[in-house]
Amino acid sequence: MTGDAREHMAANRELWDAWAGLHVDSAFYDVDGFLADPAARPLDSIVRRVVGDVSEKRLLHLQCHFGMDTLRLALMGATVTGVDFSRKAIEAARELALAAGLDATFVEADVTALGDEVPREAFDVVFTSYGAISWLPDLRPWAEAIASRLVAGGVLHVIDVHPTLWIFDEEGGAMPPEIRYSYFSRDVLRWEECGSYAAPDSDFQSVSFSWQHTFEEIVGSLIDAGLAIESLREYSQIAWQHMAYMVQDDEGLWRLPPGAGEIPLMFSVSATKPGSP
């Protein structure tokens, strides 16, 4: 990682430390509602279909934020470990697990440089989702870290924003959306953050940095790390209202409005580590 990338990641860590406090208290995450009945608020239908049965599986959740989805995976029967680089988020995740009465391990760590607290060849499943990949400047160490933590025969599930979606102007309001960013650019993107996606009315202000990754890079990094791609799916739905004119469907997911055509909004990749468990 270059010096500039380290500085950008440090700025992102400060941002997510601040966001952790905002998000725990936000209506978007509704922690009180979750604690009132965790089983009534499961993972969305796409995640459940991709991940499948994780009961009695040792599962590593990367970029887990403050652990709400990690705990949902625990409710599905997995033995869970959540990892995030934000100390504040990990502290909040531990508090949430305690309040929910659920067993989970949470580790503060950079997902591209996992330490001994996340043991090698110890997990049946690695999972990461939703707005995770774009925060990483280089996917090669990410993929290598994943491969090193899976047991032989273990599986990775990635569900995230489709890389094609990042090229569009999500704030312009044009319909259909206009292309604003290069799909193939490797330049860092700098954003002015006012509040957050979960707390848009907050007066918090900061900056963030993200990186565009092509499908070739995403899939290629996993293959280069020795993983075998088992499935790849693209979806015309997304788990949140990414653009203001999106409409919610019967599954609670979001789409472009009728008559707008369809573009891929999310993707999933599942890959296995060769060998017998």
| pLDDT one digit per residue (tens) for the chain, 277 residues | 677 889 999 999 999 999 999 999 999 999 999 999 998 889 999 999 999 999 999 999 999 999 999 999 999 999 999 999 999 999 999 999 999 999 999 999 999 999 999 999 999 999 999 999 999 999 999 999 999 999 999 999 999 999 999 888 766 556 667 788 899 988 999 999 999 988 888 999 999 999 999 999 999 999 999 999 999 999 999 998 888 888 999 888 999 988 888 889 999 999 999 987 6
pTM of the predicted structure, to 2 decimals: 0.94
User: CA 225 to CA 217: how far, in whole Å?
Assistant: 12
Q: Please state, as a whole number, how many other Cβ atoms lie within 10 Å of the Cβ of residue 154.
A: 25
Sign of CA dihedral 145, 149, 92, 242: positive
Other Cβ atoms within 10 Å of 9 Cβ, number: 18
Q: 3-state DSSP: the chain helix, strand, coil percent, rounded to 5?
A: 30, 25, 45
Q: What domains sit in the chain, N to C, each tagged with a CATH number?
A: 3-272 (3.40.50.150)
